[in-house]
Amino acid sequence: MGGWAIAVHGGAGVDPNLPQQRQEEAKQLLTRCLNLGISALRSNLPAIDVVELVVRELESDPLFNSGRGSALTAKGTVEMEASIMDGCGRRCGAVSGVTTVKNPVSLARLVMERSPHSYLAFSGAEEFARQQGVEVVDNEYFITEENVGMLKLAKEANTIVFDYRIPALGLETCSAVVESPIQMNGLPISVYAPETVGCVVVDSQGRCAAATSTGGLMNKMTGRIGDSPLIGAGTYACNLCGVSCTGEGEAIIRGTLAREVAAVMEYKGLGLQEAVDFVVKERLDEGKAGLIAVSSKGEVACGFNTTGMFRGCATEDGFMEVGIWD
């Protein structure tokens, strides 16, 4: 075992003209979350506790697309989803379509630990949340003024807003807006908001865990489920590694991206970074995505084929890095 390691992400697919202030805010949040996780690891918290702790912090900050600040559906509401997985025994839990749960990742963990199931959605997930006594809030808590404005823009435009948090003012000169919309499953979509959040951890005992949380796509159809709550697609952990993905959900689902990292490590004998690079190159077809990963040996890796990915990582030997671009 090579000691503990942690990685966090705030989404893949970043506009190259993202204002400097926004970049700094993102880096500060990622750094804060890394330090939170590092402190927990130094206190010998198990990996599963650390990923939940860090993702809760990300969900509570409106900067990225999860929890408060989640992307809005076409009806102007928030439908969130999350998953968590413990590499010890491959235990997992996931939720979709939650509208009042303040921290969806914690509800996902309760599904794992206090229900006979692995995945609950919509009214069933909400009912379970109330049975478990988790903190709930009005749906309005998750809605920000900025996202209301971006949803309005999405409905009026036939273009893609890759970073939906770009201020509407001056948008006509921002390269986040392009004339040719990208497609999902062969159909054009009007707005793509890839700022899912996630965390992967290996603790000092070599135990791996992963968690992912998102509000999904801006202007998405109500009822749409992406990769983030799907075990093996957006999230995966086993005795070899922990993986959290972000980006074009439909492509991640088709490629079972997170599980593929573990599979090529196990069956092809690839190292962690080799496995990440292979999966990003060979399993996304024409999709755009990124991922973070840790191994049970204390390694950390990331990979993406988008313009950038909000990310940070640290290891027990003192290495720490926060970045956005290549």
Residues annotated within a binding site for substrate: 224-227, 246-249
> Which own/partner pairs from 229-233 qualify as long-range (CB within 8 Å, at least 24 positions apart)?
229/81, 229/82, 229/83, 229/94, 229/95, 229/96, 229/108, 229/119, 230/83, 230/94, 231/83, 231/85, 231/92, 231/94, 231/118, 231/119, 232/256, 232/258, 232/259, 233/257, 233/258, 233/259
Known binding residues:
224-227, 246-249
Contact between 118 and 150 (Cβ < 8 Å): no
Of 99, 196, 235, 315, which one is the catalytic site residue?
Answer: 196
Query: What does the alpha-carbon distance between residue 128 and residue 110 come to, in Å, rounded to a whole number?
Result: 9
Which phi and psi (to 5°) does residue 243 adopt? -135, 140
196 given a catalytic annotation: yes
Q: What is the DSSP string of 66-96?
A: SSTTPPPBTTS---EEEEEEETGGGEEEEEE
Which residues does the annotation mark as catalytic? 196
